[in-house]
Structure 1
Amino acid sequence: MLKIAIAKSLKPQYWVQARSLKMATDAENKVHHHYTHTDPCKDLRWTARECYQFLYSKPWKSVNDYYLDLVNGRSSLAELFGHKDVDDIVDEYAPENNLPDDQSGRWARVTYKIVVSYHGEFFDGWQKQPGLNTVQKPVERSIGIFVDERKAQQRKKKGLPVEGIVVVAGRTDKGVTALHQVCSFYTWRKDVSIEDIKHAINLAAPEKLRVVSVSQVSRAFHPNFSAKWRRYLYIFPLGEGDCREQSSEIGEMEIAEDDHKENFKDLLTEKEELDGVKKPTSFSVRRVDQLLHQLEGKLLSYKMFARDTKASRNIGPPTECFMYHARAAESRIPCSNKDHVDGMKVMCIELVANRFLRRMVRVLVATVVREAAAGSEEDVLLKLMEARCRRATAPPAPPDGLCLVDVGYSDFDPQKCFIC
């Protein structure tokens, strides 16, 4: 009773200070269990710091410039993959407008499917957030003029700006580009034309955001729930010493020690330098392709490759994704640098799945590059699925190289892929 009386007599600030002190003490005593790789390549595998520095040191500006040309229609993916019909691969299917004969009441509203293209360098992701320049914000603001009168009056009474409400196929992170992002909105107004919608959105952020197409669809259409697959493309710039030929023997490493000491010195910790650990400075694109190919046609939990909620909470279907297509190939992109007359050499990674978790593609790309450099076995990504600590995977690759190419609403056709 005496302790309770003394506690009640203390001022609130003392309670706050005591609690902060306890939290700091608990944090100091907390033990962080790091994932330990036990395979033969464990000493050749980059640490998180080394992987981060290797990935972010690349010339991403050339990739950003190429994506900007794609967004504004000044370039085409056909230049990247070498076949003219690559643009026809993009899925433009829209559900038929099967409305009932009696189009009154809730069926009287009109739903529009909008396909937009935007450059991630200029936006803080898709989802609208206070104080951030997101894609959703200018899109909803621009279609506010198409909101019906009743909805407009309701927002004005609440002191809110007259804006539309759009739903999207998938939210992209800050810095991620999209060529065919799908969103939709509905209105009860009958005087809205497709050209008016295009014009309004195109004026919102010129050279950064562009409307690819607008179509009227069924009220039952939902950009996210109606989608059957998503296609992502990751363009990874390759330097002169980044790429090496695939060895015929699995796990055999071809490392130039002189180049290693010069180019990778900053990535080694003092302990590693003392121990004389020689880590690779290059990887094989062919090996990356082999590692990714093991994921095709499998329904797996990608919780170790996700960066949203705690891994212990990601159990079961919420983290399961079916990978339709996962391949990698070498190509070249146009580059203004005089040193790259024939274009900059890049690695293209194409991933198609029914869904993707937050930052899953970026973590997967970084991890597969790390494993290819270390000379890991072909099933290493499948083994990492069973890990219990996210430190088993690499930190996310830069968002500059990631692009949402398109969203499919028809069954996936394996023949319609960029990389075969």
Structure 2
Amino acid sequence: MASRVYVHYHHADACSKARWNARETFRFMYDRPWQHVLDFYSNAVEGNLSVLSLFQPKKSLVHDDGITEEMLLESEPETSTRKDRRSGRWERVNFKIVLSYNGASFDGWQKQPDLHTVQGVVEKSLGGFVDERKAQLLKKKCKPLEGRVLVAGRTDKGVSALNQVCSFYTWRKDIEPIAIEDAINKDASGKLRVVSISKVSRSFHPNFSAKWRRYLYIFPLDDAEPLRKSGENHENFIFDENKKKQRNGLLSEEIAEEVIMSEDDELEIEETSNALEVVEKPSDFSVSKVDQLLQHLQGKVLSYKMFARDTKAARNEGPPTECFMYHARAAEIRLSSSDCVEGRRVMCVELVANRFLRKMVRVLVATSIREAAAGAEDDALLKLLEASCRRATAPPAPSEGLCLFDVGYTDFDPQTSLIS
């Protein structure tokens, strides 16, 4: 059997020697006090604080009806005019459900066997609202009595959401939104909360009707251990999900799958005429530089296949999947903390696009930090889009920092941006 050939990417720009390799980038990302970010998202999900209060000047997102709220909730699509004697699927009652959940408490959104997922909890809660015909069909097939929900975007394990949108339909006409809300909140055990629920048009689809999604990524800046020089021994760090703290050791199987190793993982040592010279690399990065790198993506329709994971890098047939980036900015903010009066320094990245590919936000964040630390040119991310190998980009940043903030069903208004 022929051995597998690995193609490695070699950066040829002026800052190639200062750029972290995959192992160094991974270690820099995970060697952070992520527990403070997890605590913040947990409080936000429970409604104890507002994410909008972090930004200056303070943001206030507005309903279409003019009522000011802390969360952006778009007006429902108008119910389509039904023709006379229209029946069948058009008689179904469709509910739009906006959810907030703590990603650290779930194994992602999508329902999977023997895993605790958001979809699994929600659909189990909706079992009491399915119509009689479907209930009999499920019983005949020896399946559990559960509802079925559609979602605006599936989140990975560890990713939180503050305004995730899903929908549920039934032929029963006697169901009130408050009953569904109570059922979901009762089964969620405080890790998942219904933000709002309302009846919408049958034509509403949480995914296909959406015009944009907004993600926030919070990256801790305080209490970071300096990155070791390349000549020193490397150590792998893992994030212990049970104790929520960093510790030395071997990589877990799940995290190891995310790390993309390359020839650059070996110590970068230049041989000179006199001796071996160790190449020193940066141990920090500038938030303003990350902001400059991201701004070059705004207003462009681009193929982000180089920034995606678990999808084919190229297609034999058809055009590549393209995304339109409405907004891409980064800023330094402070998270409130009981042990720090001034709050903990963090970088917040705001990305708004019509769609995102798998792990795209996390790869963009990690690559932006890596390029900023290396002192790359401001259009470095655009140049990486033209690369032929995904090893040109960094491994995904930790999922603990990512949050789906909201989903929009009207045209995106730049005035609603959190970072400007």
TM class by shorter chain equals 0.7 to 0.9
Match among 124, 128, 138 for residue 155 of structure 1: 138
> Match for 1:95 among 77, 88, 93?
77
Which residue identity lines up with residue 306 of structure 1 in the other structure? A
Identity %: 62
Deviation of the 1:100 alpha carbon: 1.6
The AA in structure 1 aligned to 2:56 is G
Paired letter, 1:143 = L
Look at both structures and tell me which one has the larger radius of gyration over its CA atoms.
Answer: 1
Q: Does 1:419 align with 2:396?
A: no
Q: 1:419 to 1:315 in 2, by over 3 A?
A: farther
* Cα distance, 1:275 vs structure 2: 2.8
Counterpart residue number, 2:10: 36
Asked if the contact 1:44–1:280 (Cα under 8 Å) also holds between the matched residues in 2, the reply is yes
Find the counterpart in structure 2 of residue 63 from structure 1: 37
Deviation at 1:212, TM superposition (A): 0.4
- Counterpart of 1:389 in structure 2 is 389
Contact 1:99 1:219 in 2 (8 A): no
Instruction: Tell me the distance in 2 between the aligned counterparts of 1:181 and 1:291.
Output: 28
Whole-angstrom distance in 1 between the partners of 2:316 and 2:50: 38
Q: How does 1:105-124 map to 2 (within 5 A)?
A: 105-124=88-107
For residues 278 and 227 of structure 2, what CA distance do their matches in structure 1 show?
Answer: 12
Structure 1 or 2: larger strand share? 2
Alignment-mate amino acid for residue 419 of structure 1: I
Verify: 1:356 aligned to 2:339, yes or no. Answer: no
TM-score (norm 1): 0.85
Q: Give the 3-state SS of the residue equivalent to 2:372 in structure 1.
A: helix
8 Å Cα contact 1:86/1:418 also seen in 2: no
Residues 1:335 and 2:337 are matched in the alignment:
yes
Residue of structure 2 in register with 1:252 after alignment? none
1:7-50 CA-to-partner distances (Å, cap 9, x unmatched) read xxxxxxxxxxxxxxx3xxx2xx3221101100000000000000
- In terms of fraction of residues, the more helix-rich structure is 1
Q: Secondary structure at the match of 1:93?
A: coil
**One-letter code aligned to 1:59:** P
User: Is the contact between residue 230 and residue 267 of structure 2 (CA under 8 Å) also seen in structure 1?
Assistant: no
Question: How far apart, in 1, do the equivalents of 2:351 and 2:334 lie?
Answer: 19
Alpha-carbon distance between aligned partners in 2 of 1:87 and 1:272, rounded to the nearest angstrom = 52
Measured in 2, the distance between the counterparts of 1:195 and 1:260 equals: 51
Contact 1:232 1:406 in 2 (8 A): yes
What is the aligned partner in structure 2 of residue 255 from structure 1? none
In structure 2, the residue matched to 1:15 is none
Gaps of 5+ in 1: 1-21, 243-258
State whether residues 304 and 390 of structure 1, in contact with CA within 8 Å, keep that contact through their aligned partners in structure 2: yes
Structure 2 equivalent of residue 81 of structure 1: 55
Q: Is 2:194 the partner of 1:211?
A: yes
Please state whether the residue corresponding to 1:323 is helix, strand or coil: strand
Q: Provide the C-alpha distance between the structure 2 equivalents of 1:191 and 1:241, rounded to a whole number of angstroms.
A: 55
The match for 2:248 is none
Helix, strand or coil: the match of 2:189? coil
Q: 1:288 is paired with a residue of what secondary structure?
A: helix
CA contact 2:231–2:278 (8 Å) conserved in 1: no
Letter in 1 for 2:196: S
1:330 to partner: Cα distance? 0.4
User: Residue 205 of structure 2: SS of its match in structure 1?
Assistant: coil
Amino acid at match of 1:369: I
Distance in 1, matches of 2:79 and 2:227, equals 60
Displacement of 1:332 after TM fit?
0.3
Asked if the contact 1:301/1:316 (under 8 Å) is kept, the reply is no
| Greater CA drift, 317-326 or 342-351 | 317-326
